[in-house]
Amino acid sequence: MKIAVVTDNQKTISAHFERAQFYLVFTVENDKITGQELRLKANDSHAAGREPGISNLHFTDPHSVVTHTSMVGTIIDCDVLLARGMDRAAYAGLQIRSIRPIITTIRDVQAAVDAYLAGDIIDHPERLH
């Protein structure tokens, strides 16, 4: 299993998925972290990175299925993404790619990963915009 966390400094979870600079990706085996790597995160503009056939949908429309292709491509091998905020289209785009997005109130990267592994993390979809 791989857990991606959006971050700018490798210590705290970024407040907004789309604006974060990096993914900190944890490899987990038997509920223990066995590896960690920093990946550069591509950042989409409102017109870039969309799937063919949905380019006319508004980026912030909660009913659209905009998938933020270039931002997600870097973590396509991950099972979970932890963030402190994101728009509804990004959340749906992750789900479409079988990456479970979790919006947490936990700021510390390690504390959030530990909470996820312990089954104690709470998803806060009310923080979507």
Place of tokens 């989409």: 44
Tell me the pLDDT tens digit for each residue of 10-34: 999 999 998 999 999 999 999 999 9
What is the fold, at CATH topology level, of the domain defined by 2-127?
Nucleotidyltransferase; domain 5 (3.30.420)
Tell me the pLDDT tens digit for each residue of 73-86: 899 999 999 999 99
Q: What is the pTM of this model?
A: 0.81
Distance between first and last Cα of the chain: 28
Largest CA distance in the chain: 43
Domain locations along the chain: 2-127
